[in-house]
Amino acid sequence: MSLPLLELFPAGLRGRLEKLPETLLLQLEEIRVREGRPLEIGYGGGSAFVCPQGKAVTDSAEAYRPTREDCRALLERVTNHSLYAVEEELRRGYVTVAGGHRIGLAGRTVLEGGHVRHLRDVASFNIRIARARAGCAAGLLPELLDPIARTVKHTLIVSAPQQGKTTLLRDLARSISAGQWYHPQAQRWGGARSASWTSAPRSRLATEACRRSISVRAPTCSMLVRRRRGS
């Protein structure tokens, strides 16, 4: 079995990962690729190492150790052969690829004025696999509405790592952009039809962004917020 995400990996790494059992691949949550360090995977709340023959093992001494060439080739594919195009994301330390998967990067940072100017000599990748759970936010969404103020309550989502924070947020975005409020109070002010607290049509941009896995960058979000406040 092969996951679409595995196509991102260079042949040497992909071939080993594709040999893992199907039941394990379906539970895959993280893939950790580090130059000269054991190839590691996280799945179903556990973890294991991947040996050169493509089997999951518990002894790190048996694991395949990615080479510098493996890491160089993976970086080329992650950045679509253009480091400049993802320079801003590299400064933040992670890149979001098609499907909403996030790839954390570690290497040598170049500082300028106390801020990260560039990330070079990347030798570590932490691939977090995004999995959609449609409807997982259905129980929470009604609690976020403030029908009196006709707005959405300030909300902080906190949990331990790998407990589904991003999955929940994505389903909230999907539900809101599709107008799926499912709340009696919301029916009075267009919440069932609208992505905002007005009766305006729901945001097609938000719907398409969720559907097409478009990554909306921070400057775009800032412009949207300014426009919303201005209106």
Q: CATH no. for residue 123?
A: 3.30.450
pLDDT at 2: 54
Answer yes or no: is 155 within a domain. Answer: yes
| 78 domain-assigned | yes
Backbone φ, ψ for residue 47 (5° rounding): -150, 160
The pair of structure tokens assigned to 190 is 């267009």
**Same domain flag for 124 and 155:** no
Same structural domain, 103 and 205: no
Question: Is this model's pTM higher than 0.75 or not?
Answer: no
Tally of domains within the chain = 2
* 146 and 213 assigned to the same domain: yes
What is the tens place of the pLDDT at every residue in 65-100? 999 999 999 998 988 877 777 777 777 778 888 878
Question: Could you tell me the residue range of the domain that residue 190 belongs to?
Answer: 141-230
pLDDT (tens digit per residue) in 149-204: 777 788 888 888 777 788 888 888 877 776 655 444 444 444 444 333 333 344 44
* Per-residue pLDDT at 54: 93
Q: Does residue 230 have a pLDDT over 70?
A: no
Beta strands in the chain (DSSP E): 28-34, 40-43, 46-50, 56-57, 94-96, 102-112, 115-128, 145-146, 151-152
Per DSSP, 25 falls in state H
Q: Distance (Å, rounded) from C-alpha 6 to C-alpha 50?
A: 14
147 and 118, same domain (yes or no): no
Residues 150 and 225 in one domain: yes
Amino acid at 222: S
Q: How far apart are the first and last CA of the chain?
A: 50
Query: Of the candidates 104, 128, 152, which is a domain's last residue?
Result: 128
Listed residues 95, 128, 161: the one ending a domain = 128
Whether 176 and 199 map to the same domain: the answer is yes
Is residue 102 located within the same domain as residue 183? no
> Residues 94, 181: one domain?
no
Q: Do residues 143 and 175 make contact, with C-beta atoms less than 8 angstroms apart? A: no
Domain boundary among 128, 150, 172: 128
Strand partners, 125: 33, 105
27 and 86 assigned to the same domain: yes
Please state, as a whole number, how many other Cβ atoms lie within 10 Å of the Cβ of residue 126: 18
